[in-house]
């Protein structure tokens, strides 16, 4: 009877300790981005609230009792595989990591990503974040409206009124006229003391003679010189044409591809939910290539 009593008392204590242990070990999840429920399917595996842009720095946070951690970033499916980069490898568990946002696959950066936290001492305790996407930041174009101000100019037109008495001290009368830009300007004609208008230009025979002499000298020297230069260029080109130019060797195109960190083949149905026993998680996106 006493033995039964001891056993009955020990059983509740064992059940309590088991519950506490299970609760403690269950506290392993991502805080940012949100942790993944491994039994989730479809859209429940995707975190649509993430709006991270390539080049930004974000803080990834998690809750785990691991002594050391490996933080792995997965992306896929591309070329039939899941691809990853290890951001931390067997580092002390600080519960946070500052990540500079960038894709695992530069050639398929719009595919879904997710984080995985690994316990190097016990891989069965690995867990995943939800899927998310990263984006390119687009420049916002702003248009500046420019206003054009029309300027107003004032011109002064002076009219000289001849006087009958040259020796008088009377001054000429003036009138102010306003004009805007683009208007045709009026022409004022000055007058002599006797009222006859002054000429606007003067042509003399001496000027015409000098112009003709200069034109003749220029043509006489310029035409033979141009003919000489043209002939030299013609014979030089003909000589080069006979010799020919050696063909330049063609440069082969250089193609290179950066090696990726690693990959995981995933489930037998690529693009679906992979084997949960592998603890990969995520990667809902349609396969590429």
Q: What is the pLDDT of residues 240-262, one digit of tens each?
A: 655 544 444 443 443 333 333 44
Mean pLDDT of the chain: 67
Higher pLDDT, 163 or 219: 219
Q: Is residue 1 part of a domain?
A: no
Residue 144 placed within a domain: no
Q: Average of pLDDT values for 259-272?
A: 40
Does residue 25 belong to any structural domain of this protein?
no
C-beta of residue 112 within 8 angstroms of C-beta of residue 103: no
Query: How far is the C-alpha of 109 from the C-alpha of 102, rounded, in Å?
Result: 8
Name the burial class of residue 280, with classes exposed (0-12), middle (13-18) and buried (19+) by CB atoms within 10 angstroms of its CB.
Answer: buried
* Backbone Cα Rg of the chain: 46
Return the top range by mean pLDDT from 87-96, 170-179, 211-220, 231-240.
87-96
- How many Å apart are CA 202 and CA 99, to the nearest integer? 85
Whether the model pTM is above 0.75: no
Q: Which two tokens stand for residue 44?
A: 């429940």
CATH number of domain containing 42: 2.60.40
Backbone angles phi, psi at 61, to 5 degrees: -130, 150
Q: Does 55 fall in a domain? A: yes
Higher pLDDT, 20 or 116: 116
Q: Does residue 230 have a pLDDT over 90?
A: no
**How far is 145 from 155, CA to CA, in rounded Å?**
32
Which phi and psi (to 5°) does residue 241 adopt?
-65, -35
Tell me the residue range of the domain where 73 lies: 30-137+262-278
**198 inside domain:** no
pLDDT of residue 269: 37
Q: Is residue 201 part of a domain?
A: no
Number of domains in the chain: 1
Count of H-run helices and E-run strands, the chain: 2, 12
Tell whether 79 is covered by a domain.
Answer: yes
Tell me, what's the pLDDT at 134? Answer: 95
Alpha carbon distance 43, 133 (integer Å): 13
């Amino acid at each position: 009877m006493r033995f039964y009593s001891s056993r009955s008392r020990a059983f509740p204590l064992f059940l309590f300790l088991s519950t506490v242990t299970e609760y403690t070990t269950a506290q392993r999840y991502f805080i940012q981005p949100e942790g993944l429920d491994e039994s989730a399917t479809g859209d429940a595996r995707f975190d649509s609230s993430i709006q991270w842009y390539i080049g930004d720095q974000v803080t990834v946070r998690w809750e785990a009792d691991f002594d050391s951690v490996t933080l792995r970033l997965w992306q896929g499916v591309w070329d039939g595989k899941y691809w990853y980069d290890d951001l931390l490898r067997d580092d002390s568990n600080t519960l946070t990591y500052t990540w500079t946002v960038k894709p695992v696959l530069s050639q398929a950066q719009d595919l879904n990503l997710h984080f995985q936290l690994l316990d190097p001492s016990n891989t069965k305790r690995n867990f995943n974040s939800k899927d998310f996407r990263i984006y390119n930041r687009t420049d916002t174009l702003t248009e500046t409206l420019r206003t054009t101000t029309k300027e107003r100019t004032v011109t002064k037109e002076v009219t000289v009124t001849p006087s009958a008495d040259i020796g008088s001290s009377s001054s000429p009368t003036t009138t102010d006229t306003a004009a805007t830009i683009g208007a045709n300007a009026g022409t004022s004609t000055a007058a002599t003391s006797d009222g006859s208008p002054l000429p606007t230009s003067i042509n003399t025979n001496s000027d015409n003679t000098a112009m003709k002499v200069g034109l003749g000298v220029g043509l006489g020297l310029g035409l033979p010189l141009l003919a000489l230069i043209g002939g030299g260029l013609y014979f030089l080109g003909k000589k080069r044409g006979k010799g020919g130019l050696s063909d330049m060797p063609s440069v082969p195109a250089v193609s290179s591809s950066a090696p990726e960190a690693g990959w995981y083949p995933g489930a037998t149905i690529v693009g679906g939910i992979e084997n949960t026993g592998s603890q990969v998680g995520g990667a809902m996106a349609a396969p590429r290539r």
